[in-house]
Structure formats: structure tokens, C-alpha cells
Amino acid sequence: MELIVLGLNHKTAPIEIRECLAFKSEDIEKALAHARTLPSLKENMILSTCNRVELYAVGRQAEKAISDLKSFLSQFHHLPLRRFEDSLYVHTGHEAVQHIFRVASSLDSMVIGEPQILGQIKEAYEMAAGGKTSGLVLHRLLHRAFHVAKRVRTETRIGNRATSVSSVAVELARKIFETLEEKAVLLIGAGEMCELAAQHLISGGVGQVLVTNRTYERALSLAEKFKGTAVPFEEIYQGLGSADIVISATDARKPILEHDQIARIMKGRKQRPIFFIDIADPRNIDPRVNDLENVYLYNIDHLQKVANDNIQGREEEARKAEAIVQQEVVRFVGWYRSLGFTPTIVALRNKFEEIRQGEMEKILSRLPNLSDREKNSLDALTAAIVNKILHDPLSLLKRVKEDGIADFYLDTIQTLFQLPVASPDASPGKDDENPSEQKEKIEDEAL
Amino acid sequence: MNILLFKFGSVFYFLGTITYLSYILALKEALSRIAAKVILIGFALHTLAFIARYAEAGHMPVTNLYESLSFFAWAIIGVFLVINQKYKVKVLGAFLVPLALIFMISGLSLPQEIVPVAPALITFWHPFHVFFAFLGDAIFALAFCCGVMYLIQDRLLKSQSVGAITRRLPSLKVLDDLNYQSLIFGFPLLTLGIITGAIWAEYAWGRYWGWDPKETWSLITWFLYAALLHQRLAIGWRGRRAAIMAIVGFSAILFTFLGVP
């Protein structure tokens, strides 16, 4: 029984291909039902976001399952396999677990530490659970993945700090104003950076947008875009009087805002604090303006430096996160292996117990005059011998790291001891209850 | 008994301070909650200490320097607990509680036995005067701490040194708001403190105002805060200026309390 991950993401496929293979939320139910009909898959799950499309599956035979999954993708999206096969990555076993844990912890995301992916994976899992296409393994795996994500979130500071110039600006604005609601931002000039910063501030909750430009028409069109108000350039001082955040991005050659002007404006504003973001190069705002009380002037280099420091911080935190993921992968794989072991171990113990009981009967019938105490001693002796013999092999089995060797050992044990078990295939949840109980016991030991 | 409770209270304040400092370093939420609970226990013990001392002495225990320091610390912790509930400024504890702790420890270096007291100090008005004055002072202690935090945060933000400290300190707005709120609540209390002080003086010494050093400096302090309040309302003295004034004002309070006979 193999765990399989198959998919593509922003690192392996261009956006055109990702778009073609993405599943719309309405389609997921249908897709899951379709995948369920594939005989090679016992469990499956679909994760589809704007940056990745991944299929998680559990199947008896990895190769067959993988090729079935590829055909499924091709058929469902009406796209020939050769067009996207190069962008696909496939992970099985140990690496599949690692991949899923990393994705859930946002370590595989475009921006490490982003919070959305966890919610997206949870939703994807819920859809699979609802459509009954996930079973014991995916259930355990995904819940473990959520746990890992939570550990990463709480034990590292991976998600804590702003990593783009715009989000740094929002963070700083909050450090000055506490909340952006009811605050006004004034955009002077135009341009991509300017709009991006404005967009971020609006997402952060800014209440009002004012736009000014030497060309009034441009101010109007930008204001419309942000549902704000255009301010004629001659009235820029009124705008400065009512704005709390000012983003300046004009291509003026000399500064358009000087120290003394701003000093007067601050008086008029009764010293209400103001946050200037000077995106322009050469600078629009005289740096001496920062000397004024309650004025905070940042240019793009300052913001970039903070962002870089934060990114570095995230990378250090990412290392810690990878270590946490590794720990959890080992634990999970231990549990997963034990699923395969269980029938074999149970069969082995049963066989030894049968032999022991058989010999106990023989010796007790030959020595009828034994006292109870002597009978118990014999019983304890034989049980101890059996346990000691089994101890080394069983604990070694649990500790084996490579998938291939574990299966080899299991096969060997079944062959050498002629155990009555067909395959090391545990189909928990669907088969009889007894193996599950014993599996629970081994599960608890493993984890 | 009351001294024992006082000491136990101090220990808890100390533990609370350590926990708050750990919180600042590690930024684990749980630490700030534990710290607040520890301080609460200390406060309860401290309150019991008062009640015990009142019972033993037979009068309000605010008659000598030790008792005054204890009461001042108690008021500061009380203010802290109220603000902590309302505003959730988590790092405030790391500033305000050590202040109270300093007063507690200073108190421990003074004689603590209950001694007979001059009759002037056990009149009806004296406890009221002490209560209003110290409560007002405790609120200004809050403003002082917020002022210090404000200056630090302001300096860091202005010089674009955003990092670990700026993340831990509250926003400038919250600090300035607290400064303003302190002024609004503290000033009337201070005024009441001076008025009840004058009434007490009349009962004790037969005159409302004698221009002795304590009274003079209390009045100077009062004028300082009156000016601060006026400037804030009239021309918008806020932010950095207000923070500095909060520090200056509290220094005047300390001087009046401890530096003047």
C-alpha cells in the first residue's frame, strides 16, 4: 500500500498550464467521485489552489496508481498528457508524507509562512471526507499535517513578519496608528508601486483614499479605481491636512514637499501624526521632514531593508520548521509502516503461541503430578522464551527506515515461518475489526 | 502578620515582573496571562496586608513613609490591573510593575513596626487626602510608563530601526491614548487630593494653606499637569511632547513625595 502525491505548482508549471489543470470548487465533488471509481486507488484527495494542483492518493501498486492519476487529470480537463506531463512531480512513501507536511506548513508556498494554504488544505480534506474518498491513511495523514502546520506556526516565527514593501508599509502604519480604519491615505502621482501600496493599505482597512496629480484627469481615473476622491494639485495642502498616510510617487526632479511646508501643516493638523512613504527616485519629500515631531518619513529603501530583514528572519525560521517537519515525518512513517506489519506480526505471534501451547499440553500430560505452582512456572518459562526470541526481530522491524527493506523483511518472515497471511496489505476500516484492534495497540506503541 | 503579607505580596510582584520580562523575550502569549494572574495574587495579598495593618493599628495605615510607599505601590498595581483588563497592552506590566516593586523594596528597608502616631495624622480627612493623592499619582505613574515607551517607540520608528523592540512595544496611538486618558482621570484626582489636603491641614494645624515645601511643590505639580491638559486640548500637544511632559510631571510627583519634607 503506497502513499502517492502527484501534482504541479508555481515552481514547476507556468500559469497557463496551472489554470488548465485547476479544479473549480464546484467540480471537486464530481472529480473526487470520478477518481473513486479507479480500482487502483483506495483513497484519494484533490487540492487545487491558484498556485498548485495536487492529488493525494493511497493505492496498492504505486506505478498503476500514478498512471491512472495522470490519465484522470488528462481526461477530466480534456488536456493531452504530453502537454503537462513535464510539469508534474510525483512523490511516494516517505517523500510523499514530507511533501504534504511541507505544503501544509507553508514551506512550499510562494511566500513562506503564508497563512492561506492551511485553510485550503483543510477544505480540500473536508471535501474528500464528505465524498468518502478519503480513508484511514489520508485521515491520519492530513490530521497529522494540520498538527505539523500548527506546530510550525506556534514554535517558529515563520508567519510573523511582513515580507513585501507594501505589507511592511501596512505594518508600520499600524505601529503608528494602531488601526487603519477611519484613516485617510493620499496618493501623490501614480505608478505601479503607488497603486500596489494603496491596494495593500485598503486591504488593511484604510477608510478613505485621496488622489492628487499634476494632471487632474489622471488623479480622477486613479481615484475612481480606488473609489476615492480626486484632489486638484493646487489644493494639495488641504489633502495633506486630512491625510494620515501619504504615498508620493511623482517623477518630479526636485522635492515637492519641504520641511517648512510640512511644519505648517502639522500645526494646522494639531500635530496629528502623519506617515510619509516616498516611493519616488529622486525623492519627492525633503528628508529633513523626518526631523519634525509626529512625522514619520520612509522611502522605498527603508521599507525594502525592513522587508529583507524579515525575509531573512523567515528563512531562519524556515530551517526550524523543516526540522519540525522531519521529526513528524519520521513519526508518521513509523505509524504507517506498522499498518503493514500488523497482520504479519499478529500471525507470527499467533504461530509462536500455537507452538508454545502445543508443547505445554504435551509436557503437562506427561507430568500429571505437577503442582499448580510448577505448572505456572512452566507456563511463565515458555512464554518468556517466546517473548525474548520475538523481541529483537519485532523491534528491528519497527525501526527499519527504508520502505523497500521493510517489505523485504515482511516477505521473508512470512516465507520462512510459513505464516498464513496473503499479503502485508492492511485495509483498515473496510475489513474485519480484529486486526484494527491489534493495529491500535501497535499504533499506540509506534506513536 | 501584616508585614508577612506585605513581603509575600512583594514576592509575587517580583515573580510577575520576571514573567513579564520572559514574555517580552519569548513573545509567548501564555506568559503574559500567567504574569497577570501572578500579579493579581500579589495584589490580593497586599490588600490583605493593609486590612491586617489597619486592624492592628486601629487607624488607616498611611501615616509614615513605609506605609505611604506601600500604599503608593498598591495603587499603582491596582491601576495596572484595571488597565490590563481594559486595554490589553501586554508589555505594560514589564514597565509598571517594576516601578511598584521598587517602592515595595524601598519600603522594606524602612522600619515597619506599628508605632504610636501623632494625633494630627489620624484625623478624618487625612486618609481621604492620601487616597485621592496617591490614586492620582498612580495614574500619572501609568502615564509616565507610557511616556517612556512612547519615546522609545517613537525614536525607533523615526530612525527606521524597525525590529524586535518595535514589534513588542504597542503602537504610538495606544500609548498616546493612554497618556491622554491618564490625564483625564488623574488630574481631577490630583485636584481632589490637594483640596482634601488643605481641609486636613485646617483640622490638623489650623490653617488651609501654609506654603510649606510639600504644599508648594504639590501646587507646582498641579500647575504642570493643568498646563499639559490645557495644551493638549487647546493646541494639540500630543505624541512626543506629551510623553516628555508625562515624564517631567511624574518626576515632580516623586520629588514632592520623597524629596521634600
Predicted confidence (pLDDT) per residue in B9-53, tens digit? 888 889 988 988 888 887 777 888 889 899 999 999 999 988 888
Cβ-contact A424, A342 below 8 angstroms: no
Q: Does residue A338 carry a pLDDT above 90?
A: no
Cβ-contact B250, B144 below 8 angstroms: yes
Cβ-contact A315, A322 below 8 angstroms: no
Tell me what the mean pLDDT of segment A416-430 comes to.
59
The Cα–Cα gap between B193 and B225 comes to 14
Chain B within 8 Å of A177 (Cβ-Cβ)?
A: yes
Mapped onto helix, strand or coil, the DSSP state of residue B241 is helix
The Cα–Cα gap between A142 and A132 comes to 14
Our measurement of the distance from residue B52's CA atom to the centroid of its chain's CA atoms, rounded to an integer in Å, reads 22
Chain B within 8 Å of A271 (Cβ-Cβ)?
A: yes
Cβ-contact A68, A40 below 8 angstroms: yes
- A273 contacts on B by Cβ (under 8 Å): 172-173, 239
**pLDDT recorded at residue A437:** 47
Bond prior to A282 in cis (omega within 30° of 0): yes
Q: State chain A's mean pLDDT as an integer.
A: 86
Tell me what the mean pLDDT of segment A161-184 comes to.
89
Closest CA to A21 of A81, A63, A66, A68: A81
The Cα–Cα gap between B35 and B94 comes to 10
Reported as a pLDDT band with limits 50, 70 and 90, residue A139 is very high
CA distance A175 to chain B (A): 4
Reported as a pLDDT band with limits 50, 70 and 90, residue A401 is low
- A245 contacts on B by Cβ (under 8 Å): none
**pLDDT recorded at residue A288:** 92
Chain B within 8 Å of A174 (Cβ-Cβ)?
A: yes
How are beta strands A41-48 and A52-59 bridged, if at all? antiparallel
Closest CA to A403 of A395, A411, A394, A414: A411
Most A CBs within 10 Å, among B158, B168, B232, to test the A interface: B158
Q: Minimal Cα distance from B234: which residue of A? A: A270
Predicted confidence (pLDDT) per residue in A118-129, tens digit? 999 999 999 999
- Catalytic residue annotation of A: 50
Size of interface A-B (CB pairs under 8 A): 54
Task: Pick B57 or A9 by higher pLDDT.
Answer: A9
Backbone angles phi, psi at A79, to 5 degrees: -130, 125
Most B CBs within 10 Å, among A269, A294, A296, A303, to test the B interface: A294
CB atoms B173 and A177 under 8 Å = yes
CB atoms B238 and A177 under 8 Å = no
Reported as a pLDDT band with limits 50, 70 and 90, residue A200 is confident
- A271 contacts on B by Cβ (under 8 Å): 236-239, 241
CA distance B167 to chain A (A): 8
Chain A within 8 Å of B230 (Cβ-Cβ)?
A: no
Mapped onto helix, strand or coil, the DSSP state of residue A135 is coil
Reported as a pLDDT band with limits 50, 70 and 90, residue A442 is very low
Helix or strand (DSSP H, E) at A170: helix A165-177
Reported as a pLDDT band with limits 50, 70 and 90, residue A334 is confident
Low-confidence ranges of chain B (pLDDT < 70): 120-121
Residue A10: Cβ-neighbour burial (10 angstroms; 0-12, 13-18, 19+): middle
**pLDDT recorded at residue A421:** 59
The secondary structure of A312-340, three-state, reads HHHHHHHHHHHHHHHHHHHHHHHHHHHHH
**pLDDT recorded at residue A124:** 94
Q: Which cell numbers hold the place of B1?
A: 502578620
Task: Pick A401 or A231 by higher pLDDT.
Answer: A231
**pLDDT recorded at residue B182:** 92
DSSP assignment, residue B163? Answer: S
**pLDDT recorded at residue A167:** 86
Mapped onto helix, strand or coil, the DSSP state of residue A102 is helix
Residues paired with residue A58 on neighbouring β-strands, in sequence order: A3, A43
- B160 contacts on A by Cβ (under 8 Å): 298, 302, 305-306
The Cα–Cα gap between B32 and B167 comes to 15
pTM of the model: 0.72
CA distance A248 to chain B (A): 18
Closest CA to A91 of A6, A161, A173, A18: A6
The Cα–Cα gap between A294 and A286 comes to 16
Q: Does residue A428 carry a pLDDT above 50?
A: no
The Cα–Cα gap between B116 and A406 comes to 86
Chain A within 8 Å of B234 (Cβ-Cβ)?
A: no
Reported as a pLDDT band with limits 50, 70 and 90, residue A430 is very low
Most A CBs within 10 Å, among B88, B89, B155, B160, to test the A interface: B160
Chain A within 8 Å of B111 (Cβ-Cβ)?
A: no
CB atoms B237 and A271 under 8 Å = yes
- B171 contacts on A by Cβ (under 8 Å): 174-178
**pLDDT recorded at residue A135:** 86
Cβ-contact A55, A69 below 8 angstroms: yes
Facing A293 at nearest CB: one of B162, B167, B239: B239
Tell me what the mean pLDDT of segment A160-189 comes to.
89
Chain B within 8 Å of A288 (Cβ-Cβ)?
A: no
% of residues, chain A, pLDDT over 90: 38
The Cα–Cα gap between A283 and A250 comes to 9
- Report the interhelical angle of A165-177 vs B172-205 (nearest 10°): 10
Mapped onto helix, strand or coil, the DSSP state of residue A271 is coil
The Cα–Cα gap between B6 and B100 comes to 13
Q: Does residue A257 carry a pLDDT above 50?
A: yes
CB atoms A296 and B158 under 8 Å = yes
What spatial distance separates the first Cα and last Cα of chain B, rounded to whole Å? 30
CB atoms B157 and A172 under 8 Å = yes
Reported as a pLDDT band with limits 50, 70 and 90, residue A275 is very high
**pLDDT recorded at residue A436:** 45
- B170 contacts on A by Cβ (under 8 Å): 178
**Residue A86: Cβ within 10 Å count:** 10
